[in-house]
Structure 1
Amino acid sequence: MSDLKEPLHYASSKPVDAPASKPTAGLHDRSIGAIIAETRNLSADQVERVLQYQRERGIRFGEAAVALGYANAEDVLEALSKQFHYPYAASERKSRSPELIALNQPFSSQAEVFRGIRSQIMMRLYREGEPRRALAIISPDTMDGKSYFTANLAVTLAQLGGRTLLVDADLRRPRQHEIFDVNNQAGLSSILSGRSEPRVIQQVEGMNSLFVLPVGAVPPNPVELLERPAFGMLMRELAGKFDHVVVDTSAALYGADASIVASRCGAALVLARQDRSRVLSLQELTDSLDGVNTTLLGTVMNQY
């Protein structure tokens, strides 16, 4: 579907007891000027100077504020994100979360690639009259960039405004709790083991519509836990409660984990790495989905 590049890692969140939607105010309910003035604590005189500079040159308020040294480009981007209710990471957050390109640099060409992939997924996964399904991201090998891809795809889905859940079902080498910096004391493994834990689903800081279900403790029996009926029931329940459910998985080289997760989700997307993934491995992975009730949406070629 497209080529992507992979950077590093980290992010942030806060736990919630019961994820709930929050009402969204109308677009353009505050001007860019008002937001920048509040963020930069501009005085009335400074605002008037910006307005005069804006009128004289026929430019936007943000451009005028930057030209006069009252704001910077980052302030303008943050103001735009607030005005259009578009999730955008603050400066201090970016240093902790460099992997979340779609959140840290939502107006970049790389983020645009993720949005293009999101559009393809939306057209293929969500069809009128069909039950809602979770989407498993699967790949043949480690270091394919699967966790990075899954995290950014979840961000772009959440940027549409619908409630989005990212489930880390990589019970062998989980990474989503590191990428989003969520508490990993309890999670999917706790649920599948029958242990009742509070607040296992956590809301991502700065994104009202994005939630993460981490793995929790890495279990000694990942395949057995995933094969239990509880996992399939959980996926169906979550797909009914969230607008989008994206699931990270273990690399196929570890065993049957990826194909089991894909079969329980109902839909899968294959991630391959350019100049590394072997055709035979990809064929074996797709063949493992034959005969199961799973729709294979396509393949993404990751370049990094």
Structure 2
Amino acid sequence: MNAFAQDRVDTAGISTIGDILQKSKGLSAEQVNLALQYQREHGVRFGEAVVAMGLARREEVVWALSQQFHYPYLPESERKLHPDLVLANQPFVEEVEAFRDLRSQLVMGVMGDPEHRCALAITSSDQGDGKTFAAANLAIAFAQLPGRTLLIDANLRSPRLHQIFGVKSTPGLSGVLAGHHEQQAISPIKQMPNLYLMAAGAIAPNPAELLQQATFGFLLRELLDKFDHVLVDTPSYAVGSDARVIGVHCGAALIVGRKHASRVPRMQTLVTMLNKSKVKLAGILVNEF
């Protein structure tokens, strides 16, 4: 993204950015007016004028633009998130555009039918393929759209999402499925206003049985009524049947593979298994990170 691509020349747009910089940088009204004058004299955008005059850094102008256009984005000084969250930590680098492109394909594809809404299971054939990395960043991409996004950690064997997002692991999904009706099982992600996480909860001795029961399907349908987008991280196919069971309950699945690492026969088996279960296959994401 061009840092100044959305920086409007008209006074109404400029005043909004100016107000934001006044609050965040302590710019005075006089400094804003001087920047406006510089803009007119040099034929540049307001943000470029502010940077050229030394009133703010480029990074600070990008952050101000993100606030103006309601785009969830953390300023550099506040980026203390897990390094796996590249879409939050490095939102404008070329590589992360793949997640936004994937989001668009999903919205226009398997997740775009308003009459038959479904959740999206994100799975892989082998451990270490990067499905949790993909699920976390794809959830952030969806959270940058209007509406609310819920990410569920249904990997009841070796969950990681609570660590990545820095929330408590319990209460969570396993407790809800066990009938404990735990309160506050869904945690808001404070750095991402539209993003929520349901952690996996306590490690259960019978994850496959918990996920197989109808309660999980009922829970997903209830959550689809409350959230605009629901994404579900699963265990890999290598550790058991959980991925297929979760995919059936969700209705759609995205497979993640790692370049030069994923084994094609095992991935073909996973595709065949999901197709036989009548799960809508969104495609295969090749992870190069």
Using the size of structure 2 for normalisation, the TM-score is 0.90
Within the alignment, does 1:86 sit opposite 2:99 as a pair?
no
Counterpart Cα distance in 2 of 1:128 and 1:139: 24
Question: CA deviation digits over 1:186-236, x for unaligned, max 9?
Answer: 100110111122211111113332111011111121111111111111112
Aligned to 1:38: 23
Aligned to 1:209: 194
Letter in 2 for 1:166: L
Question: Greater relative contact order: 1 or 2 (C-alpha under 8 angstroms, separation 6 or more)?
Answer: 1
Letter in 2 for 1:218: I
Please report how far the alpha carbon of residue 44 of structure 1 lies from its aligned counterpart in structure 2 after TM superposition.
3.1
Please report how far the alpha carbon of residue 91 of structure 1 lies from its aligned counterpart in structure 2 after TM superposition.
2.5
- 2:106·2:112 contact (CA, 8 Å) conserved in 1? no
Counterpart Cα distance in 2 of 1:32 and 1:253: 50
Counterpart Cα distance in 2 of 1:31 and 1:281: 53
Please report how far the alpha carbon of residue 239 of structure 1 lies from its aligned counterpart in structure 2 after TM superposition.
1.7
Counterpart Cα distance in 1 of 2:96 and 2:115: 29
Counterpart Cα distance in 2 of 1:142 and 1:284: 15
Please report how far the alpha carbon of residue 169 of structure 1 lies from its aligned counterpart in structure 2 after TM superposition.
0.4
- 1:30·1:83 contact (CA, 8 Å) conserved in 2? no
Please report how far the alpha carbon of residue 264 of structure 1 lies from its aligned counterpart in structure 2 after TM superposition.
0.8
Please report how far the alpha carbon of residue 30 of structure 1 lies from its aligned counterpart in structure 2 after TM superposition.
5.7
Counterpart Cα distance in 1 of 2:273 and 2:140: 29
Structure 1 runs, 4 residues or longer, greater than 6 Å off: none
Aligned to 1:199: 184
Please report how far the alpha carbon of residue 69 of structure 1 lies from its aligned counterpart in structure 2 after TM superposition.
1.8
- 1:250·1:257 contact (CA, 8 Å) conserved in 2? yes
Counterpart Cα distance in 2 of 1:98 and 1:80: 24
Counterpart Cα distance in 1 of 2:275 and 2:38: 65
Counterpart Cα distance in 2 of 1:245 and 1:144: 21
Using the size of structure 1 for normalisation, the TM-score is 0.86
**Secondary structure, counterpart of 2:37 in structure 1:** helix
Aligned to 2:252: 267
Please report how far the alpha carbon of residue 132 of structure 1 lies from its aligned counterpart in structure 2 after TM superposition.
0.6
Counterpart Cα distance in 1 of 2:114 and 2:166: 37
**Secondary structure, counterpart of 1:296 in structure 2:** strand
Aligned to 1:22: none
Letter in 2 for 1:194: G
**Secondary structure, counterpart of 2:197 in structure 1:** strand
Counterpart Cα distance in 2 of 1:216 and 1:43: 49
Which moved further from structure 2: 155-164 or 284-293?
284-293
Aligned to 1:65: 50
**Secondary structure, counterpart of 2:74 in structure 1:** coil
After TM superposition, list the pairs within 5 Å mapping 1:94-173 onto structure 2: 94-128=79-113, 130-173=115-158
- 1:101·1:110 contact (CA, 8 Å) conserved in 2? no
- 2:111·2:119 contact (CA, 8 Å) conserved in 1? no
- 1:136·1:268 contact (CA, 8 Å) conserved in 2? yes
The 1:81/1:98 distance shift into structure 2, 3 A limit, reads same
Please report how far the alpha carbon of residue 247 of structure 1 lies from its aligned counterpart in structure 2 after TM superposition.
0.4
Which moved further from structure 2: 62-71 or 261-270?
62-71
Aligned to 1:291: 276
**Secondary structure, counterpart of 1:289 in structure 2:** helix
Cα RMSD, aligned residues only: 1.8
Letter in 1 for 2:259: Q
Please report how far the alpha carbon of residue 51 of structure 1 lies from its aligned counterpart in structure 2 after TM superposition.
2.6
Please report how far the alpha carbon of residue 41 of structure 1 lies from its aligned counterpart in structure 2 after TM superposition.
0.3
Unaligned runs of 5+ in 1: 1-26
**Secondary structure, counterpart of 2:262 in structure 1:** coil
Which moved further from structure 2: 227-236 or 121-130?
121-130
Please report how far the alpha carbon of residue 28 of structure 1 lies from its aligned counterpart in structure 2 after TM superposition.
5.3
Please report how far the alpha carbon of residue 166 of structure 1 lies from its aligned counterpart in structure 2 after TM superposition.
0.3
State the number of aligned residues. 278
Please report how far the alpha carbon of residue 40 of structure 1 lies from its aligned counterpart in structure 2 after TM superposition.
0.4
Counterpart Cα distance in 2 of 1:254 and 1:148: 18
**Secondary structure, counterpart of 2:185 in structure 1:** coil
The 1:84/1:92 distance shift into structure 2, 3 A limit, reads same
Unaligned runs of 5+ in 2: 1-11
The 1:167/1:146 distance shift into structure 2, 3 A limit, reads same
Within the alignment, does 1:53 sit opposite 2:38 as a pair?
yes
Question: CA deviation digits over 1:63-105, x for unaligned, max 9?
Answer: 1221222111121111011100010023344233322222233
Aligned to 1:233: 218
